Amino acid sequence: MALIRLNFTTETDQVLFSGNSCVKEVILNRPAKMNVLNHEMICKITKNLTVYENDPSVKLVILKGNGRAFCAGGDVVSAISSALIGHWTYFASHYRVLLALGHLTSTYKKPVVCLINGIVMGGGAGISMNTTFRVVTEKAVFAMPEAYIGLHPDVGASYFLSRLPGHFGEYLGLTGAKLNGAEMVACGLASHFVPSKVKELIKKEP
């Protein structure tokens, strides 16, 4: 059966790609929807990351999101809407490519820096928490909200949550509790903490 792809949004440039020959930026660009990942976005990110990984001139990849979120997860509304009207192939494919993207970022052969200056939840955590460097600010908010609807944490969460100290990962997975940036660093989810104003200073011309 052929895969039926549905487009539930008219937004354009939902993912931006920029940078130079050595450093590439992947920018999630659905700020009005907190950068939730739909099928098309996931495929574009996967395609470009694969190209960067195989390009010897690329030394570093930066992932970040526009607006108040890095990524609030997968586009559950679009996926469920497709399932409700009978397009299970789209629903299954969406979940498959999201898992594949999480695996790609987790096993990437080059350094990946995730700049998390806002919300990072669900699938957004899945594509970022296993990367080389996870840089958070005071605006960062982490959670696995799947727990609120009785779903197990997915997209690689069983790996990174199980490696937190004590039973803290189990607590986060069962409760969906929220963490701020400092708490993410303290428990090991994030590797670095910087004030959000640093981003503005870096962009200033000398």
3-state secondary structure of 139: coil
- Choose, from 126, 154, 176, 181, the residue flagged as catalytic: 154
Q: Is 74 a catalytic residue?
A: yes
- Choose, from 65, 73, 74, 169, the residue flagged as catalytic: 74
- Determine how many CB atoms are found less than 10 A away from the CB of residue 192: 13
What's the gap between Cα 185 and its chain centre?
A: 17
- Choose, from 65, 102, 123, 173, the residue flagged as catalytic: 123
- Comparing CA positions, the residue from 167, 162, 122 lying closest to residue 141 is 122
- Comparing CA positions, the residue from 190, 157, 181 lying closest to residue 171 is 157
Residue 68 Cα distances to 34, 139, 158, angstroms: 7, 8, 26
Whether 174 contacts 157, CB under 8 Å: no
Q: How far apart are the first and last CA of the chain?
A: 57
Q: Is 126 a catalytic residue?
A: no
- Choose, from 40, 102, 146, 176, the residue flagged as catalytic: 146
Q: Is 73 a catalytic residue?
A: no
3-state secondary structure of 115: strand
- Whole-angstrom distance, CA of residue 180 vs CA of residue 16: 27
Q: Is 154 a catalytic residue?
A: yes
Catalytically active residues are: 74, 123, 146, 154
